[in-house]
Every structure is written in C-alpha cells, then in structure tokens.
Amino acid sequence: MPNELRIALVQTDLIWKDKEANLINFDEQISSLENIDLIILPELFNTAFCIDDMSLAENEFGDTIQWMQQISQQKNSAICGSILFVEDDLYYNRFLFVKPDGNFSHYNKHHLFSLVGEDKLLTKGKEKIVVNYKEWNIQPFVCYDLRFPAWCQNDDDTDLQLYVANWPAKRIHHWKNLLQARAIENQCYVAGVNRIGKDNYDNNHTGYSAVYDFTGKNIAVIDNVAGTEIVKLSKAELKNHRERYPFWKDRDTFEKS
C-alpha cells in the first residue's frame, strides 16, 4: 500500500577492508527478510570506515553495486547504504539507493569528517537529493551530516530521512539525541543505521540503529547486537500530523554551500 512503507534496519559488525566477508555477512542477515520495501545498511558497509585506501573504491560497475542490484531484485526491495566510490578520478563517500529494476540514485556525503581527515582524502558532495520510491519521498544523509540541521532541514517535503553511519560509542548519546531532533524539527520519519564492534583504530561501536516518528517518538531500536529490525511506517499518520501541526510553514530558508 502506498500509505505504508516497511523498512528493515540491518546492524552488524564490519570487517576491515574485507568486502567479500562483509557481503557474505549481509547475505546471511538479509536472507530471511520477506515483504520488505527498503533495506538499510550502514555507512561504508562493504569495507568499514577505511577511507585512506583508494584501492577499495568502486565505480558503477563494481562488485558491490552488482551485489546490491542482485539483492534488490531477489527481495523485490530497494536497498541502500554507502561505499567508497570513484568517479572521474575523484573519490566519494557515496550513498547508493538501488531499486529492484536495477536503477540507482546516489548522494555524496556533504560533511566530511575533518577530525580524521576525511575532508582531505575525499571529495565533498554538493547537492542533496530526494528519492521518490513507492510514493514516498526519501532523503539520504551520511553520518557526520547528522550534526548540521541547516543542511538537513526538510525543504523538500521529505517523508523519511535516512542516516547511515559508523558512529562511535563514546559519542552515542549525540547520535540518539540528534536523530530525535531531526525527526522533531523536520516533522518526518527518521531512520538511522549504525554498526557495532571495533574498527582498526580501536574505536568501539555500540549500534543503536533506530527509527523515530514525526513527533520524535522512538518506535524501534537495535541495541549493541547484530540483527535486523523491521518497522512499518504510515504516510497517512504523517500527513495527519503535519496538517494538525503545520510548524513547517514557519521554517527559515538557508543558502547551502
């Protein structure tokens, strides 16, 4: 039904620089999913957050996109997440949204994480996008973008914002509070998918992949375990809330750069 969207959050540990092992792991996580509209994977789900090894970057004909297209077709579900991507000799942290017909849209991470030099290694994305899928307007963001409300402001009548991340445990309270804030201020559903486990920099990740509704209510969460969570979203309930509380009409306009 166009009024409903069934999404699956997929949270797991990520194996450093091992695409084959990570994709096999996601195969196992996804295999039991049925009647899902959208499968959401973490940031850099095929390699973990190793942004300094450009040999890991893929183009549109790479193995990871082909894997995503295969899963999407098999499950008759869109699938999304970010990977290290190369295009015209430039490197991006690129969010891919793949549909069952094989077509895909992309968003390049805008706020590159300067604390670890991501801004020196990768190219900054310049544009937001909205993916129209099953009559839902879906807007993707990547990790550090979450901290910047002006960039994430819902100027596009978005129904669902997606945030994929490798967000460390030592700042997990920021992740929780910022996801909730984006849902409240943008009056839309917000889904955030994080990873668990330690990376090669000894950063620990404790998950807390979650969904918040348009009022900021937490309606689903995965704590520090590998697993999937299926959540049904209602566009009718979202529409009724926006009509009852049209706060969005009074928002500011910003020039984004």
Task: Give the pLDDT of the chain (257 residues) as one tens digit per residue.
Answer: 568 999 999 999 999 999 999 999 999 999 999 999 999 999 999 999 999 999 999 999 999 999 999 999 999 999 999 999 999 999 999 999 999 999 999 999 999 999 999 999 999 999 999 999 999 999 999 999 999 999 999 999 999 999 999 999 999 999 999 999 999 999 999 999 999 999 999 999 999 999 999 999 999 999 999 999 999 999 999 999 999 999 999 998 876 55
For 185-202, the pLDDT digits (tens) are 999 999 999 999 999 999
Give the per-residue pLDDT at 253: 82
Q: What per-residue confidence (pLDDT) applies to 2? A: 65
For residue 70, the one-letter residue type is Q
* CATH class entry, domain 4-250: alpha beta
Task: Of 227, 236, 238, give the one whose Cα is nearest residue 26.
Answer: 227
- Separation between Cα atoms, residue 160 and residue 74, nearest integer Å: 24
CA 104 – CA 83 distance, rounded (Å): 14
C-alpha angle 46-50-53 in degrees, rounded to nearest 5: 100
Active site residues: 43, 109, 143
pLDDT of the residue at 256: 56
| Cα radius of gyration rounded to whole Å, the chain | 17
Q: What is the pLDDT of residue 255?
A: 67
pLDDT at 257: 53
Q: How far apart are CA 234 and CA 218, in angstroms?
A: 15
Q: Is 11 helix (H, G, I), strand (E, B) or coil?
A: strand
With a CB cutoff of 8 Å and minimum separation 6, the contacts of 203 are 168, 169, 170
pLDDT the model gives residue 114: 96
Q: Break the chain into its structural domains and give their ranges.
A: 4-250
Q: Is 53 strand, coil or helix?
A: coil
Cα distance between residue 186 and residue 170, in whole Å: 26
Contact 86, 59 (CB under 8 A): yes
